[in-house]
Copies of this chain bind each other. A is one copy, B any other.
Amino acid sequence: MQIPKSSKVVTSYEKIKPFIHHTPVLSSTDLNKKIGTNIWLKCENFQKVGAFKFRGACNAVLPLEFRIAKNGVATHSSGNHGQAIAKAAQIKGIPAYIVMPENAPKVKIQAVKDYGAEIVFCEPTQLSRESTLKEVIQRTSSHFVHPYDDSDVVLGQASAAWEFLHEIPELELIITPVGGGGLLSGSILAAEAFHANENRPLCKVIAAEPEQANDAYRSMLSGTIQSLTNKQITNPTIADGLRTTIGNIPFRIMSRANTEIICVSEESIVHAMRYIWERFNMIIEASCAVPIAALLEKKITPSFKNIGVIITGGNVDLDNLPWNNDS
């Protein structure tokens, strides 16, 4: 399994550009004041399907050759990646089979259906997820697109940071959340490509993750991919997009770059999520509040003059908001 070359970031971007939204970058005087430096938010919650995942899905699905594509594509996903593959398959005009846990948010299930994909439900365990996917692939001969452990997916996700760096070339630091590592490792490649192409200082890329799902932190510390602990599985983080372990390809890119991981508490994730809702008037998922939480907790040195945060997605169940219970 090869690490994708950062030079491929540009060619991937050109391929998917006509199909994705060029998402806006927003800022707020209040947040800048709070952190003491310039903070820029790349708003992938306004991406098609409501999340950056559409970038990776496009890059993995749209260029597929007919002999592979004709039987459709399949994946397992608790939400955004499933929607993204469903929509990319709809654009390409091929079937999509999405394996989803029975307890996935209703709004995400409906969205996948709306894109014309076939949903196959499984139990909410890694084991059931994988065996169900295997059955689906055997039955349909469809092509599996992994949510993050896939070079094309990683290169697709890279396009968010690529656009971001072109819009704010002064960025010295980009923070992403980390779940499987697709966006994080893609952003590292994008920063390297921008550095090489534009003759600019290399923008540092780091990640934030919940303390209650700190597998990426422990993986970087130990040098091998770590799983969630039993306690972290039975008492899961609110940031449901970050409950996965790191993929092999992302981990190799992160290891090469010696990527720093910052961990934040559950409480500060909810606080950061609500802060963004109120101050930016935009809907973000708990998962993408994690880097904001790291900033608000002052866990990142404000010596950087321009810090970018990739706001990853906004697919939220409006009938089940985290502050309805404690406010």
Q: Which of A's residues lie within 8 Å of B, judged by CB?
A: 21, 24, 26, 29-30, 45-46, 48, 50, 107, 114, 274, 277-278, 280-284, 313-316, 318-319, 321, 323-324, 327
Contacts and interface: CB of A to CB of B under 8 A. Distances in A.
10 residue pairs, one from A and one from B, having the closest CB atoms: A281-B314, A24-B24, A281-B283, A45-B281, A282-B282, A50-B281, A319-B327, A26-B46, A277-B318, A283-B283
A49 to B, nearest CB: 10
B323 A46 contact: no
B327 A281 contact: no
A30 B278 CA distance: 26
A168 B107 CA distance: 31
Contacts of A114: 30
A107 B318 contact: no
A278 B107 contact: yes
A307 B262 CA distance: 45
A249 B95 CA distance: 57
21 contacts: A21-B26, A24-B26, A24-B46, A26-B46, A30-B114, A45-B281, A46-B281, A46-B282, A50-B281, A107-B278, A278-B318, A281-B282, A281-B284, A281-B313, A281-B315, A282-B283, A283-B283, A318-B321, A318-B323, A319-B323, A319-B327
Q: How many copies does the complex hold?
A: 2
A316 B274 CA distance: 12
Given A46-B281, A281-B314, 6 more contacts: A30-B114, A281-B282, A281-B284, A282-B314, A318-B321, A318-B323
Name the residue among A29, A280, A282 with the largest chain B CB count within 10 angstroms. A282
Nearest to A87: B29
A280 B23 CA distance: 12
A241 to B, nearest CB: 14
Contacts of A277: 283, 318
Nearest to A30: B114
A50 to B, nearest CB: 5
A283 B313 CA distance: 14
A282 B314 CA distance: 8
Contacts of A280: 46
A282 B284 CA distance: 9
Nearest to A323: B318
Name the residue among A281, A283, A284, A319 with the largest chain B CB count within 10 angstroms. A281
Contacts of A48: 29
A290 to B, nearest CB: 17
